[in-house]
Amino acid sequence: MPRVPFDQLPDHARLWIFGADRPLSLDERRLLAESVENGLRGWSAHGSPVTWGHALHHERFLLLGVDESTTALSGCSIDGAVHEIQALERRLGQSLLDTARVFYREGEGVRAVSRQRFRELADAGAVSAETVVYNNVIATVGDLRRGAWEVPASRSWHAKAFPLRAE
């Protein structure tokens, strides 16, 4: 059973989150969905089909979940998915694999900045321990559902990496 709707993945499904620097246009979002679905249509590990789903959040975050209870991923199968994401990056002209960015909420929008810039914002008090950040390193779909993705910086790895003050 290959692709399934993202919301039908079990809580234990493995999760990867890829963020774009800016919100994607409607055409870019369509391209992203088509590219992911076409590129991963035959996704397999050791010849067995991978059960996976995807979703797009906040017009910039690609969420990719895999139910490894049906087929365990291998290094080669993960590499295949990464190659598809790299091809998608070229088509969109957008980085999705850059882990050196910090995503945080500013007003009603999401901002993406370098780690150095986020540190500068923390030093200046422009972001704090209460600033909502996107913890893109959560491991499972269940973590996402339990609210571990969009959290105050004090509840994420950000609190250890940056000098965040309480408001």
Strand 51-57 and strand 61-67: the pairing is: antiparallel
What is the secondary structure of 74-110 as a DSSP string?
Answer: -HHHHHHHHHHHHHHHHHHT--SS-TTEEEEEETTEE
Do 21 and 134 meet the contact criterion of CB atoms below 8 Å apart? no
Q: Which residue has the higher pLDDT, 122 or 41?
A: 122
Six token digits for residue 138: 């959560």
pLDDT in tens, 44-65: 888 888 899 999 999 999 999 9
pLDDT in tens, 126-139: 999 999 999 999 99
Strand partners, 132: 152
Q: In which band, very low, low, confident or very high, does the pLDDT at 77 lie, cut at 50, 70 and 90?
A: confident
Domain assignments of the chain as residue spans, ordered by start: 6-92, 101-161
- 1 pLDDT exceeds 60? no
Burial class (CB in 10 A: 0-12, 13-18, 19+), 44: middle
CATH code, residues 6-92: 3.30.70
**What is the distance between the alpha carbons of residues 104 and 31, in angstroms, rounded to a whole number?**
25
